[in-house]
Structure 1
């Protein structure tokens, strides 16, 4: 049923992602599917561009890729069934783009407990749930 599972990860809080990774691992094993980890880096604000090195974005991407490779190794998912990507841009836009690119059947992501402000403004998980063209499983920590 779920052959391609996308798991967005915030590398600033990998502990929050552990339940989503574990859930994706179980589903992938059950359905003989693959897991694709995704980290979305924010865009460097234009007003800061002159204060950071010219290769700042490339350095950040390399650091994120190294961190994702560690998360992938520690996930317990066989290497042939897990992959990862780093994208840059708006979080939920990039998640939806990656889901389309990888032909994901399911997006498994964690979300913080809702606060009053997210009921009015919406969260990244909320946007993904609303606009994804595939199933979305939100795992609460």
Structure 2
């Protein structure tokens, strides 16, 4: 079945990803597959960087990796079949790129219930579904 499952996680809303992680771990157990959690942080640029500590991006990445590590450990997925990674940029671009580079065969993504704004501008989940190089499962609580 699915051997490499990627789960995008918003580091600011980790509780929102729990259902997607549980789903991915359940699917991975059926086939002895791997689960990778991915967090994408935005590019911090321009004049804003003048007001941040010089090691801000390193601190942010370290904190984000710690959050992802705690999530994957709590999921019960064996450490030998679990990994975490972070990327910087646009969420859906980075998710699609990570899936392609890691050769994922499934992305399990959480999605909020659609709102009017979602219909007008689209959601990251919808963009991932349209552009992913593999199957995508969208889960909702």
TM range (shorter): over 0.9
Aligned partner of 1:2 in structure 2 is 2
Structure 1 position 37 matched with structure 2 position 37? yes
Alignment of 1:36-75 (within 5 A): 36-75=36-75
Distance between the aligned counterparts of 1:3 and 1:19, measured in 2? 19
Distance between the aligned counterparts of 2:46 and 2:2, measured in 1? 40
* Length-normalised TM-score, structure 1: 0.97
1:19-38 CA-partner distances (Å, limit 9, x unpaired): 10010011000111100000
RMSD: 0.8
Q: Which runs of 5+ in 1 are unaligned?
A: none
Task: Give the secondary structure class of the aligned counterpart of 1:12.
Answer: coil
Distance between the aligned counterparts of 2:70 and 2:128, measured in 1? 26
Distance between the aligned counterparts of 2:137 and 2:43, measured in 1? 27
Aligned partner of 1:121 in structure 2 is 121
Q: Which runs of 5+ in 2 are unaligned?
A: none
Aligned partner of 1:94 in structure 2 is 94
Distance between the aligned counterparts of 2:45 and 2:62, measured in 1? 19
CA apart distance, 1:101? 1.2
1:86-133 CA-partner distances (Å, limit 9, x unpaired): 111100000001101110000001011110111121110010000001
Distance between the aligned counterparts of 1:18 and 1:66, measured in 2? 15
Moved more, 10-19 or 121-130: 10-19
Structure 1 position 24 matched with structure 2 position 24? yes
| Runs of 4 or more consecutive aligned structure 1 residues displaced over 4 Å after TM superposition | none
Distance between the aligned counterparts of 1:64 and 1:46, measured in 2? 22
* Length-normalised TM-score, structure 2: 0.97
